[in-house]
Amino acid sequence: MIRAFVALDLPPAVKATLADLRAGVAGARWTDPADLHLTLRFVGEVPEDRLEEVHLALDEIRAPAFDLTLEGVGQFGQGARSRLLWAGVAASPALAHLQAKVESAVVRAGEPTETRRFTPHVTLARLDRQAHPDRLRRFVEGNALLRAGPMPVDRFVLFESRPGSGRPRYLPLQDYPLLG
């Protein structure tokens, strides 16, 4: 079985901007800058032949390249249930269009439909239980004006998420170019 997901990689300059945010929140486990990405669709654990079907379906996608801007930060979960800090994404019909195509391709390949609404974000940190609410609030308020980009999005990527002793490693398996 291979654990896979479809995502946008981010340009080095955007990763560097986001990497600069990694401070001041005790209990935050920051995403390694190299691992920063925007998930379009989590595929999950699939047998290798099923992953090949997913690849073939993704390979059929014809969607235009576009520009994307990251905007602001937020958290999933509130108070004691805070679990994740993220960077937000400026509204983008082109991103929604691409995500819908990726979703239908993955379903065409035989995977179940994702029932949760797509909430585009870049995970900045996982939060331990003891992350302090005041520090979280200060982080979110202090970075409300974050802007990174606009960045050109000219491809999307099928990644393997390979479990290890610590954080999983994300390995790019295949790039899919968008139409320039």
Q: Is 30 in the site for ligand ATP (CB under 6 A)?
A: no
Nearest-approach distance from CB 129 to ligand ATP, in angstroms: 14
**In this complex, which beta carbon is closest to ligand ATP, that of residue 115 or of residue 134?**
115
Pick the binder of ligand ATP from 2, 19, 42, 53 (CB under 6 A).
Answer: 42
Distance of closest approach, residue 180 Cβ to ligand ATP, in angstroms: 26
Q: Does 5 bind ligand ATP (CB under 6 A)?
A: yes
Q: Which two tokens stand for residue 18?
A: 């986001």
The alpha helices in 25-166, defined as continuous H runs, are 48-59, 93-108, 133-142
Which is closer to ligand ATP, CB of 7 or CB of 179?
7
Report the residue number, 78 or 119, with the smaller CB distance to ligand ATP. 119
One of 2, 3, 69, 169 touching ligand ATP (CB under 6 A): 3
CA distance 96 to 137: 29
Structure tokens at 119: 């909430």
The packing angle between helices 48-59 and 93-108, to 10°, is 140
Q: Could you tell me which residues come within 8 angstroms of residue 42 by beta carbon, excluding any fewer than 6 positions away?
A: 5, 114
Residues 19 and 27: their CA atoms lie apart, in Å, by 17
Question: Given the rule CB under 6 A, which residues bind ligand ATP?
Answer: 3, 5, 39, 42, 123, 161, 168
